[in-house]
Amino acid sequence: MDARLNYFASPTAGKAFKHFMAAGKAIKESSLPAATQELVALRVSQINGCALCIDMHTKEAAAAGETSVRLQLVAAWREATVFTEAERAALELAEQATRVADAAGGVSDEVWARAAGHYDEEQLTALAVLVSFMNTANRLNIIAQQPAGDYEVGQFH
């Protein structure tokens, strides 16, 4: 399968992606735990059906030491016992923020309060930006039908 668009060959995409990737770097460097970042990125990508991002974040998380059990259970995190309460709060917030059309009210006050009970304001900001960033990345990849399976750890860093 070939992608519809080659973003790397486009002058317009090149200009936009320079800033987009800088935003991604800022999130990575935030105080939001790296494991939480990868779990959230993976869950958002699962919800949106972005194969490239699922491939990337599964491999990046595994390379960073994440267990296969936790990676396999991200899609069913509510029933899984392998996530911390903080991670569960982040995953719940990520789901509601990704499914804004389904949730009608966006992120509920209860979900926000649970996340705020585990993360400080800077971490909550990073979490909100991460969810938005991943939703954008997912949509760009889905529009272009970017193929998945060949991602190598560190490829886009």
Tell me which residue of 32, 39, 145 sits closest to 95, measured CA to CA: 39
Which pair of tokens denotes residue 96?
Answer: 């509601």
- Is residue 110 over pLDDT 80? yes
Within a domain: residue 149? no
Q: What is residue 6's predicted lDDT score, i.e. its pLDDT? A: 85
| pLDDT band at residue 103 under the 50/70/90 scheme | low
pLDDT, mean over the chain:
94
Residue 106 lies in a domain: yes
Would you say the pTM of this structure is higher than 0.95? no
- pLDDT value of residue 8: 82
* Number of domains the chain contains: 1
Inside any domain, residue 67: yes
Q: In this structure, is residue 88 part of a structural domain?
A: yes
Q: Is 25 part of any domain?
A: no
Tokens for 92, please give them. 């719940």
Overall average pLDDT of the 123-129 stretch? 98
Q: What is the distance between the alpha carbons of residues 148 and 157, in angstroms, rounded to a whole number?
A: 17
Is residue 66's pLDDT more than 80?
A: yes
Is 89 within 8 Å of 117 (Cβ atoms)? yes
Rg of the chain's alpha carbons, rounded to an integer? Answer: 15
In a domain, 42, yes or no: yes
Find the mean pLDDT for residues 129-146: 96
CA angle 23, 24, 29 (to 5 degrees): 100
Within-domain flag for 11: no
Residue ranges making up the domain that contains 69 = 32-144
The DSSP code sequence of 68-126 is: HHHHHHGGGTTT-SSS-HHHHHHHHHHHHHHTHHHHSS-S-HHHHHHHHTTS-HHHHHH
Q: Among the listed ranges 2-11, 72-81, 132-141, which one has the minimum average pLDDT value?
A: 2-11
Decide: 94 and 43 in contact? Cβ < 8 Å: yes
Tell me which of 94 and 105 has the higher pLDDT. 94
The CATH number of the domain where 56 resides is what? 1.20.1290.10
- For residue 64, the tally of other CB atoms under 10 A from its CB is 12
What value does the mean pLDDT take over residues 84-109? 92
Q: Does the residue 134 lie in any domain?
A: yes
pLDDT at 2: 85
